[in-house]
Structure 1
Amino acid sequence: MLEFDSFIVFFSNIQFFSIIEFLGTFAFAISGIRLASAKHFDWFGAFVVGFVTAIGGGTLRDLFIDVVPFWMENPVYLWATFLAFIFVIIFHKQLVRLNNTFFIFDSIGLGLFVVVGVEKTVLLGFDPWVGVIMGVITGAVGGMLRDVLINEIPLIFRKEIYALACVIGGIVFVVLQMLPIPLIANEIITAGVVILIRILAVKFRWHLPIIKGE
């Protein structure tokens, strides 16, 4: 009975992890497609930007930890991007009216992908500090590639609290993992911390010091 219960818990964690990864892909894809539409990209260009935004960080992470990039093993992430594309087309007018649309979906994607990056790396046996770095890469690199493709200065290099939110989220995950709390609770708390930091940083204009030139 105990072994069966352990299996159920493990299966539930795997399922929830997949949901997080799917939702993160969907949210990041929307942020990319939304910005591409603002730059007047055509449908194909907008889809490419959305897909690169969604899979860029996870691809680099998987290459670093020497596993097959996640999206190559399951077409669901391509479908998630397609659904995000359809979502933007259908609700384009509503998304345009909401000035914070990009920020909302970008923050959600960031929080969810930090969880995915740290958890996947740590479960493969890497040290916690490596997991934190992979969490930052998973969360931030897709957005960086998105900004490069649409000819903007990457958000991670601006004064906004962005990568630092990923670092804090990664640390929260590895610390909570040492405590006797369910993995699902850890995932929710970590994602929530990253999203909350992003919201508060923008609301109260928190930022790191800027290096000044001559």
Structure 2
Amino acid sequence: MDLFFYWFDHLGVAVFAISGTLLAFRKNMDGFGVIVLASVTAIGGGTVRDLILGLPVFWVYDPSYLYTILIAAVLTILWLRFRDFIHQKTLLIADAFGLAFFAVMGAQKALLAGFPPLICVVMGTITACFGGMIRDVLARDVPMLLKGELYATTCLAGGSVFVLIAPHNELLALLSGGIITLLLRLGAIKWKWYLAVFQEHGESR
């Protein structure tokens, strides 16, 4: 089972690396820019999580994650050689899958380290969102985290499902939490779901 979770984690890294590569393509970046965006998207959130929790930074002690990023980026570049345009929705969907993977994998790592459920949910959200936020800032985009549609909220929901089910069945918890996160994010993309806090108003003069 541990081997399954390990490769599941690598799959999440690969998906977010693809997301970073797609954005680099849309921004017409060079090869170095592709690797930078792919890397910060894939491991940025997990790095922040490990530093906050006082744990060894995962990719420093297991460089195979860097190979996963490189392979995912190269394969995406080869695929993009046959296309001259990437729709914004393709990037959003790739990012949604990355959120789903990392929201539960980040929560799982905190849970295994002995942290309480609330902290696990927060760490899952950080793992899922911070890499994409760094990616968007470097690419001079408004981070998806700060846009109107549900984003971090979907990770909170998926992470909560995970910590509720994990004591009974860890694999079911991973699948359920990931699916909830993915469906909520895809629904937000399609139907523009958002949490309204303030009423619309004009600028004060």
Tell me which interval the TM-score lies in, with the shorter structure as reference length: over 0.9
- Aligned ranges 1:51-130 → 2 under 5 Å: 51-92=39-80, 93-94=82-83, 96=85, 100-130=89-119
Provide, for residues 157-199 of structure 1, a one-character-per-residue CA deviation record: whole Å limited to 9, x for no partner. 1101100000001110111124x3x311211111111011011
Q: Give TM-score scaled by structure 1 length.
A: 0.88
Provide, for residues 115-145 of structure 1, a one-character-per-residue CA deviation record: whole Å limited to 9, x for no partner. 1110110111111000000000000000000
Asked whether 1:47 is paired with 2:35, we answer yes
Name structure 2 gaps, 5 residues minimum.
Answer: none
Asked whether 1:172 is paired with 2:161, we answer yes
Residues in 1 aligned to 2:24 and 2:86: alpha-carbon distance in whole angstroms: 16
Q: What is the identity, as a one-letter code, of the residue corresponding to 2:123?
A: M
Asked whether 1:157 is paired with 2:146, we answer yes
CA separation of 1:24 and 1:123: change in aligned 2, threshold 3 A:
same
Q: Is the 8 A contact 2:148 2:195 kept in 1?
A: yes
Residues in 1 aligned to 2:117 and 2:197: alpha-carbon distance in whole angstroms: 29
Aligned to 1:96, what secondary structure does the other structure show? coil
Asked whether 1:204 is paired with 2:188, we answer no
Aligned to 1:151, what secondary structure does the other structure show? coil
Q: What is the identity, as a one-letter code, of the residue corresponding to 1:192?
A: I
Superposition misfits of 4+ residues, deviation over 4 angstroms: 210-213
Asked whether 1:186 is paired with 2:173, we answer yes
Q: Is the 8 A contact 2:22 2:86 kept in 1?
A: no
Q: What is the identity, as a one-letter code, of the residue corresponding to 1:193?
A: I
Residues in 2 aligned to 1:197 and 1:94: alpha-carbon distance in whole angstroms: 29
Name structure 1 gaps, 5 residues minimum.
Answer: 1-11
The number of equivalent residue pairs is 200
Q: Give TM-score scaled by structure 2 length.
A: 0.92
Residues in 2 aligned to 1:40 and 1:104: alpha-carbon distance in whole angstroms: 20
Q: What is the identity, as a one-letter code, of the residue corresponding to 2:152?
A: A
**Match of 1:9?**
none
Report sequence identity in percent: 38
C-alpha RMSD of the superposition: 1.5
Provide, for residues 60-116 of structure 1, a one-character-per-residue CA deviation record: whole Å limited to 9, x for no partner. 000011111111011111111111111121110358356532122211111110111
